[in-house]
Every structure is written in structure tokens, then in C-alpha cells.
């Protein structure tokens, strides 16, 4: 478990340098300077951009400000995806810092979920935890928790955990409950995961996948990918950029699953090996 | 053994039955097959009605705002959730000008009898989510309590040795909460002729 934890720390503390620029069509009282921020990979845009909002509101009138939303090269950014996934999906080939455009008008409600308050983020987050728990333990863990535990779970896992090093250990203590195996079932029922692909009609692939094969062999990440999208896995030299970094040990996979809010957001895209 | 969950194959089967009945009743459900085999029946009907806030006028009417009168268009999707092994109802609502309803407006259109029950546990209610196949924002009724309320329905059907369409029974519970009426004719036609096989609770 020791080296698993090291990888986890790397993911936990992973940051993306980002430059926020105000959309030039916004009405401002004076010129708006861009705002720079290091975004944590494992958080959500709406949780970490209060400072961005404050910065731009300084140059705008209140009546010109509606719900804030973000866009990268014309694509509205889905706040309910982890930041690392958004970056890997949309911008992994670009030069850093990642340039995001900030909007305060014309919210694209056919593309983006509204996020008027942090309680919406909390609800979304807890919904993911519940769904992952349904897959892993048939919802036993989350249902056995009391409401106050749900609140604490969100606090530890959601709100502040990315902010400081000591929070990592607190997170892990809280998260242990979600990762513990039920001895009667002998492990997770199914692995909670999602695969995001750059070229796809569907937002993501999410299907049932058992951690162990019928003959008792432990499944690896490679097995999972093969089953979920065999067409994306040619045999010759393919590199996967997976968030978090790939490792084929199942225990690692389980741990990283837990890190990504117990519902793994795993991105892969094909990068052909140079000949 | 009576199972209060639904596997994907059974889901397909129940939907096919529902579709056949829908065709006979001209109720507008259709089946959309999405690449990779997961599919969702879509209600292409628009649910229209006069909206006003007078008390007692309840026939599918929705109260949106004081003194206003508008026609709303709803779109309903039934999607199978493999995480919860149940169907899930997704829907969205627009004015005729194409403006989406907000979550607050949707809540105010839920019948007061249902509203209290739903609002008691925020996680088990109506939220805005990304449609798992289309990627667009839809309202969703959270599925985590479905197994609970379906259990007595399936048990009763089993005890009385009669067939039950899981999806239809489920829809008749959750649909009306959000403006989707399931006509009684669906269940009066449930007893199939010899050419159809019905869903048996197992």
C-alpha cells in the first residue's frame, strides 16, 4: 500500500496552472486583467473559483453580472466534471497555462448544469458517492451513515480537502469507510468508474464491471479498458493518458477510485507511439 | 425469490411491452437506440395545459407564477441505470419560446401532495443532472428509493400470481409527480394475448 499512497499524494496535490480571462463581450467599467490560479486536479471548478469571480466583479456593475460560467475555445466547461478530467479532455495538448474564458451572461443552459450555490455541488458530490457505493457495497455503507455523517463526509472529501497537506490524511481517514471491503461479499461488487473519450457521441462510458473474474483472477485496468471499448485498443504501441496515472495493480486502481470521489473519472485517449 | 430490482434485459422487455401499448393508445412513446446498446424510450408528446394559480385547478396544471398563463412543453426519457438496477426518469421542460424551466419552477409545478414528501430528503428528489446518453442537462428523479417502493408492488403481484410490468408500475408512481400521467388503459391492456409473453416477477 505504501507506494500506492505516494501515487495518491501526487494526484492529490496535482495542479494545473490556469489563466482566467474575461470574455471580451462582457460590459466592464474598466479593463479587466487576467487572473492566474493553480487549479487542483481533483476538485470542481465552481468550488475553487471564488477568487476569480471576486476579481472580475471589481470591474463590473452588479446588473451586468449573472451566473458565472467557463469556456475553453468555444466549449462550455462542465463544472460537474473534475478539473483534471476537463483539462485532459479539452486542453492536454496546449501550452500551459491553460487559458479559460470567463462569462457572466448568456448561460448556456442546454449544455451546462446550473450551479447557483455550493449546496448544488454538495448534492452532486454526494450523489456520486451514493452511486459508487451502490456499485461497490449495494449502498450499505452510505445508507448506514447518519445524516450528520453525510455532512461530515462532504466536508472532508469535498470542501476543503484539496487545500492543505494535513487534509489529505483526514480525507483518507474518512474515505476508509467507503473503501472497506465487506467480508461477506469478499470485496467490491462492481468497480465504479467512468471513461471519458475525446471523440464520442456519449458523454461517458459507464457499465458494470466486476473486480474479479469468474475463475478468481483479479482484473486489471487493462482488462477493464479492453471490455469497455475494444475498438480503442489496437494491439500495437498505444499509450494511455489516464487520470490518475496508470498502474495496473488492482489495489492501486481501487485507491485511485476512492480518490476520485469514489467514482473514478478515467480519461483515456490514444497517443500513438512514435515510429 | 422476488427481486425488487430490474436487470437490463428485463428492462428492455418491459419497455417493448410499454411501447406496444403506447402505439395502441397513440401515447407517443418511442424507442431510441443509442450506439452501444443502451436505449431510452422518449415521450415525444408535449404535455400542454393552461397554467394558472387558482386553487383547486389541478388537472395537470402547474403553478408557475402569479397571474401568468403559459403553456409548457415537457420531454420525458426513461433510462436504465446499471448502478441502481432500476429505470430512471429524466425530463426537461420549456416554455413555447424555448426557455428552460429552472429547478425552482419545476418544484413549484410538482403537486403539493408530492412536494412535501420529496423535499424531506433532498438527495432523493429532483435534481439537475447530465443525461447519461445525451450529455445535456435534464431533471432527474433520483432512483435510490425505487427499490423500496417497488418491493411491495412486486410482492403483491407475485402473491396473486399475476404478471407485472416493472417499468409501467414504476412509471405510474414517479410520472405523476412531475406531470406525466400514465393512463389507466395501460394496465387494463396488460393481460396479454398468447403472442406476447409478459414480465413475471422472479
Q: What CATH number is given to the structural domain containing A88?
A: 3.10.20.620
Is the pLDDT at B63 greater than 50? The verdict is no
Asked whether residue A2 is assigned to any structural domain, the reply reads no
Of B84, B100, B132, the CB nearest to A203: B132
Residues A82, A42 contacting (CB under 8 angstroms): yes
Residue where one domain finishes, among candidates A103, A135, A166: A103
Rounded distance between C-alpha atoms, residue B89 and residue B141, angstroms: 6
Asked whether residue B128 is assigned to any structural domain, the reply reads yes
Low-confidence ranges of chain A (pLDDT < 50): 1-2, 161-162, 183, 233-275
Q: What pLDDT does residue B56 have?
A: 26
Shortest Cα distance from B128 to chain A (angstroms)?
Answer: 7
Of B123, B137, B142, the CB nearest to A112: B137
Contact A114 B122 (CB under 8 A): no
The model's pLDDT over A26-59, given as tens digits with 9 standing for 90+, comes to: 988 899 999 999 998 878 898 889 999 999 999 9
pLDDT tier, B197 (very low <50, low <70, confident <90, very high otherwise) = very low
Q: Write down the ipTM of this complex.
A: 0.73
Mutant choice from A130, A149, A153 vs B, greatest count of B C-beta within 10 A? A130
Rounded distance between C-alpha atoms, residue A36 and residue B142, angstroms: 38
Is the pLDDT at B19 greater than 80? The verdict is yes
Asked whether residue B194 is assigned to any structural domain, the reply reads no
Residues A210, A250 contacting (CB under 8 angstroms): no
Q: Are residues A133 and A180 in the same domain?
A: yes
Contacts of A137 in chain B (CB under 8 A): none
Q: Which residue is associated with the grid cell 404478471?
A: B163
Give the neighbor-by-neighbor strand order of the sheet with A35-40: A35-40, A15-22, A98-103, A69-72, A75-76
Domain hosting B78: range is 8-188
Q: Are residues A21 and A99 in the same domain?
A: yes
The alpha carbon torsion through A224, A227, A228, A231 (nearest 10 deg) reads 120
Asked whether residue A159 is assigned to any structural domain, the reply reads yes
Residues of chain A with a CB closer than 8 angstroms to some CB in chain B: 78, 80, 109-114, 120, 123-124, 126-127, 130-131, 134-135, 139, 192, 201-208
Asked whether residue B197 is assigned to any structural domain, the reply reads no
Q: What pLDDT does residue A89 have?
A: 83
Q: What pLDDT does residue A247 have?
A: 29
- Give the CATH number, domain containing residue B18: 3.30.1460
Asked whether residue B112 is assigned to any structural domain, the reply reads yes
Shortest Cα distance from A126 to chain B (angstroms)?
Answer: 8
Contact A208 B82 (CB under 8 A): yes
pLDDT mean over B46-60: 27
Domain hosting A85: range is 14-103
Residue where one domain finishes, among candidates A103, A132, A164: A103
Pairing outcome for strands A238-240 and A270-272: antiparallel
B123 interfacial to chain A (CB closer than 8 Å)? yes
pLDDT tier, B6 (very low <50, low <70, confident <90, very high otherwise) = confident
Asked whether residue B1 is assigned to any structural domain, the reply reads no
Asked whether residue B198 is assigned to any structural domain, the reply reads no
Q: Are residues A96 and A125 in the same domain?
A: no
Q: Are residues A163 and A244 in the same domain?
A: yes
Q: What pLDDT does residue A148 have?
A: 67
Coil vs helix vs strand at A262: coil
Is the pLDDT at B5 greater than 90? The verdict is no
Rounded distance between C-alpha atoms, residue B21 and residue A74, angstroms: 44
First CA to last CA across chain A, in angstroms?
Answer: 36
A114 CB burial (10 A radius; 0-12, 13-18, 19+): middle
A128 contacts: CB under 8 Å, gap ≥ 6: A261, A262, A263
The model's pLDDT over B80-118, given as tens digits with 9 standing for 90+, comes to: 888 888 899 999 888 888 888 888 888 887 877 777 766
Asked whether residue A93 is assigned to any structural domain, the reply reads yes
B5 CB burial (10 A radius; 0-12, 13-18, 19+): middle
Whether the pTM exceeds 0.90: the reply is no
Shortest Cα distance from A65 to chain B (angstroms)?
Answer: 18
Contact A202 B84 (CB under 8 A): no
Which 53-82 residues of chain B touch chain A by CB within 8 A?
Answer: 82
pLDDT mean over B152-165: 90
Total tally of structural domains belonging to chain B: 1
Range with lowest mean pLDDT among A77-86, B33-42, B149-158: B33-42
Write the CA distances from B77 to A134, A182, A264, B16, B126, integer angstroms: 22, 35, 26, 14, 14
The cell for B115 is 412536494
Cis peptide leading into residue A244 (ω within 30°): yes
- Give the CATH number, domain containing residue A210: 3.10.20.90
Of B84, B130, B144, the CB nearest to A203: B130
The cell for B188 is 387494463
- Chain B: residue nearest A202 by CA? B133
Q: What pLDDT does residue A94 have?
A: 85
- Chain A: residue nearest B99 by CA? A109
DSSP 8-state assignment for residue B123:
G
Coil vs helix vs strand at B173: helix
- Continuous segment of H or E residues that includes residue A152: helix A147-154
Angle between helical axes of B166-174 and B8-25 (0-180°, round to 10)? 70
Total tally of structural domains belonging to chain A: 2
Asked whether residue B129 is assigned to any structural domain, the reply reads yes
Amino acid at each position: 500500500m505504501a507506494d500506492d499512497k505516494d501515487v495518491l499524494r501526487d494526484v492529490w496535490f496535482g495542479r494545473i496552472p490556469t489563466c482566467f480571462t474575461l470574455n471580451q463581450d462582457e460590459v466592464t467599467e474598466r479593463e479587466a486583467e487576467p487572473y492566474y490560479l493553480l487549479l487542483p486536479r481533483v476538485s470542481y471548478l465552481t468550488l475553487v473559483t471564488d477568487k476569480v469571480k471576486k476579481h472580475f466583479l471589481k470591474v463590473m456593475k452588479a446588473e451586468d453580472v449573472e451566473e458565472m460560467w467557463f469556456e475553453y475555445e468555444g466549449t462550455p466547461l462542465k463544472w460537474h466534471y473534475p478539473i483534471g478530467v476537463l483539462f485532459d479532455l479539452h486542453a492536454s495538448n496546449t501550452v500551459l497555462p491553460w487559458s479559460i474564458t470567463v462569462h457572466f451572461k448568456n448561460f448556456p443552459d442546454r449544455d451546462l448544469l446550473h450551479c447557483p450555490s455550493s449546496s448544488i455541488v454538495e448534492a452532486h458530490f454526494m450523489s456520486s458517492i451514493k452511486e459508487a457505493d451502490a456499485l461497490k457495497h449495494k449502498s450499505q455503507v452510505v445508507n448506514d451513515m447518519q445524516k450528520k455523517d453525510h455532512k461530515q463526509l462532504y466536508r472532508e472529501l469535498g470542501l476543503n480537502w484539496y487545500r492543505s497537506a494535513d487534509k489529505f490524511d483526514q480525507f483518507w481517514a474518512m474515505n476508509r469507510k467507503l473503501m472497506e471491503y465487506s467480508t461477506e461479499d469478499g470485496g467490491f461488487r462492481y468497480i465504479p468508474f467512468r471513461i471519458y473519450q475525446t471523440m464520442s457521441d456519449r458523454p461517458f462510458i459507464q457499465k458494470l464491471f466486476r473486480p474479479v473474474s469468474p475463475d478468481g483472477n483479479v482484473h486489471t485496468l487493462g482488462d477493464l479498458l479492453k471490455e469497455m471499448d475494444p475498438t480503442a485498443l489496437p494491439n500495437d504501441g498505444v499509450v494511455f493518458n489516464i487520470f490518475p496515472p496508470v498502474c495496473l495493480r488492482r489495489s492501486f486502481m481501487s485507491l485511485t477510485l476512492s480518490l476520485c470521489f469514489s467514482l473514478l473519472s478515467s480519461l483515456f485517449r490514444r497517443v500513438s507511439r512514435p515510429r | 425469490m422476488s427481486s425488487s430490482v430490474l436487470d437490463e434485459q428485463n428492462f428492455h422487455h418491459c419497455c417493448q411491452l410499454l411501447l406496444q401499448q403506447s402505439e395502441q393508445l397513440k401515447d407517443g412513446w418511442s424507442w431510441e437506440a443509442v450506439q452501444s446498446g443502451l436505449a431510452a424510450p422518449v415521450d415525444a408528446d408535449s404535455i400542454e395545459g393552461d397554467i394558472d394559480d387558482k386553487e383547486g385547478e389541478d388537472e395537470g396544471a402547474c403553478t408557475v407564477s402569479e397571474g401568468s398563463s403559459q403553456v409548457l412543453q415537457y420531454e420525458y426519457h426513461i433510462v436504465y441505470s446499471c448502478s441502481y438496477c432500476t429505470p430512471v426518469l429524466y425530463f426537461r421542460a420549456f416554455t413555447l419560446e424555448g426557455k428552460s424551466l429552472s429547478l425552482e419552477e419545476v418544484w413549484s409545478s410538482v403537486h403539493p401532495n408530492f412536494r412535501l414528501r420529496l423535499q424531506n430528503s433532498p438527495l432523493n428528489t429532483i435534481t439537475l443532472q447530465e443525461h447519461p446518453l445525451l450529455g445535456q442537462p435534464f431533471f432527474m428523479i433520483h432512483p435510490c428509493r425505487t427499490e423500496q417502493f417497488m418491493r411491495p408492488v412486486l410482492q403483491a403481484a407475485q402473491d396473486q400470481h399475476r404478471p407485472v410490468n416493472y417499468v409501467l408500475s414504476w412509471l405510474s408512481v414517479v410520472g405523476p409527480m412531475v406531470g406525466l400521467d400514465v393512463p389507466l388503459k395501460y394496465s387494463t391492456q396488460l393481460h396479454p394475448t398468447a403472442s406476447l409473453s409478459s414480465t413475471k416477477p422472479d
